[in-house]
Amino acid sequence: MSFQAYLDAVEKKTGLTPRQLIDLAQERGFGPGTKATPILEWLKEEYDLGRGHGMALVHVITKGIRTRSRCR
């Protein structure tokens, strides 16, 4: 599964674009320097995302969007 496929699956499951999830994460104080565990716990609790899809979002939350993804 490609990185973009993970992001597309997250959007389908949550109804939110990766950009919207990044904004929500920033509102919670997550960003560069945040460890993966608290982000993964939030994504599991709020959106029932598993580790693989969660880690894709951890990457874009902590490192920014550096792919040609459709992160609207």
Higher pLDDT, 25 or 2: 25
How far apart, in whole angstroms, are the C-alpha atoms of residue 61 and residue 55? Answer: 10
State the pLDDT at residue 1. 77
3-state DSSP assignment of residue 12: helix
Q: What's the full length of the chain, in residues?
A: 72
Render pLDDT for 16-54 as a digit per residue (tens, 0 to 9): 999 999 999 999 999 999 999 999 999 999 999 999 999
The domain segmentation of the chain, as residue ranges, is 3-63
* pLDDT of residue 62 exceeding 80: yes
* pLDDT of residue 69 exceeding 60: no
What is the model's pTM?
A: 0.85
* pLDDT of residue 71 exceeding 80: no
